[in-house]
């Protein structure tokens, strides 16, 4: 675990880790998050591309989740987020960029297709994650089975309220497609980022609490090759060094 002094330090360390993975294996497969937390990491990666020639052209990206029912061109979709904050700023090969199709006519079939695409790509080399205030990773809300794969999930009321800021005049959608816990845990390496004081309780539960399906992020402690980069203000409730 690394405690970073501030948001910029967290973002820089995360971008270094992603760039290091690319240096080692330019055709790496990534599972990638949305949200406010990784914005700084994406900014750093775009700067590394512009200024240092870091290339993403051979890498493959799978988003962790997408809202159910939202077309790719909806401004609050994770398709739109990724395009705006990352993909349009670097040299990704659009044929290697994947986001679950939230508006697919048959969501269950879309989940199977998405899971198969990750498998066919050889699984993820690095899974980058944020953490919800309730301990969720991707949209695996508290109670998500460790055995889960890509599937349709109902979002908790608290997640819908937190994410309401992206939806004018309403809560976030009721449901989403998320990559599952097993899919995440099968990634060869994982990186969880946490920023902001409002994540301190979730971070403490994930790192100091019991490993339990009630706190999905806690499962990463069983992973073996998971790194936690925590901004200092999100780390203040940690009471012991658990060696993660
Ligand atoms: P945030 O979301 O980065 O916007 O806080 C993280 C998450 O819910 O996983």
CATH of the domain at 18: 3.40.50.1360
Is 239 inside a domain boundary? no
Is 240 inside a domain boundary? no
* 14-60 confidence digits (pLDDT tens): 999 999 999 999 999 999 999 999 999 999 999 999 999 999 999 99
| Domains: count for the chain | 1
* 115-165 confidence digits (pLDDT tens): 999 999 999 999 999 999 999 999 999 999 999 999 999 999 999 999 999
Domain span holding position 102:
2-234
Tell me the pLDDT band of 244, cut-offs 50, 70 and 90.
low
SS (H, E, C) 139-173: CECCCCCCCCCCEEEECCHHHHHHHHHHCCCCCCC
Ligand 1 atom closest to Cα of residue 159: 8
Name which residue sits closest to atom 4 of ligand 1, judged by CA.
35
pLDDT at residue 231 is higher than 70: yes
In this structure, the strands spanning 151-154 and 126-129 are: unpaired
Q: How far apart are CA 110 and CA 242, in angstroms?
A: 38
With a CB cutoff of 8 Å and minimum separation 6, the contacts of 176 are 65, 66, 67, 68, 102, 139, 152, 153, 155
Neighbours of 172 (CB within 10 A): 19
Is 102 inside a domain boundary? yes
Q: Is 196 exposed, middle or buried (0-12, 13-18, 19+ CB in 10 A)?
A: middle
Is 65 inside a domain boundary? yes
Does residue 2 contact residue 35 with C-beta atoms inside 8 Å? no
Ligand 1 atom closest to Cα of residue 196: 5
Residue 139 Cα, ligand 1 centroid: separation in angstroms? 10
Percent of the chain at pLDDT exceeding 90:
96
Residue 130 Cα, ligand 1 centroid: separation in angstroms? 5
Active site residues: 65, 134, 136, 141
- Residue 210: name the closest of 130, 129, 135 by CA: 135
pLDDT at residue 170 is higher than 90: no
């Amino acid at each position: 675990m690394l405690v970073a002094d501030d948001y910029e330090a967290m973002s820089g360390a995360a971008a270094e880790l992603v760039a290091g993975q690319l240096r080692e294996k330019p055709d790496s497969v990534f599972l990638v998050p949305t949200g406010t937390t990784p914005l700084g990491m994406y900014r750093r990666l775009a700067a590394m591309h512009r200024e240092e020639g870091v290339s993403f052209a051979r890498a493959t990206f799978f988003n962790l989740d997408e809202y159910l029912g939202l077309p790719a061109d909806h401004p609050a979709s994770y398709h739109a987020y990724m395009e705006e904050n990352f993909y349009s700023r670097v040299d990704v090969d659009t044929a290697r960029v994947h986001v679950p199709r939230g508006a697919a006519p048959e969501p269950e079939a879309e989940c199977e297709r998405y899971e198969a695409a990750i498998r066919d790509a050889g699984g993820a080399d690095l899974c980058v994650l944020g953490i919800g205030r309730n301990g969720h990773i991707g949209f695996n809300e508290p109670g998500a089975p460790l055995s889960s794969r890509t599937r349709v999930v109902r979002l908790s009321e608290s997640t819908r309220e937190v994410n309401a800021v992206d939806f004018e005049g309403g809560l976030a959608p009721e449901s989403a497609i998320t990559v599952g816990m097993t899919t995440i845990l099968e990634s060869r390496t994982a990186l969880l980022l946490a920023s902001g004081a409002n994540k301190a309780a979730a971070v403490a539960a994930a790192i100091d609490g019991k490993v339990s399906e009630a706190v999905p992020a806690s499962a990463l402690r069983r992973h073996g090759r998971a790194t936690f980069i925590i901004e200092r203000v999100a780390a203040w409730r940690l009471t012991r060094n658990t060696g993660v």
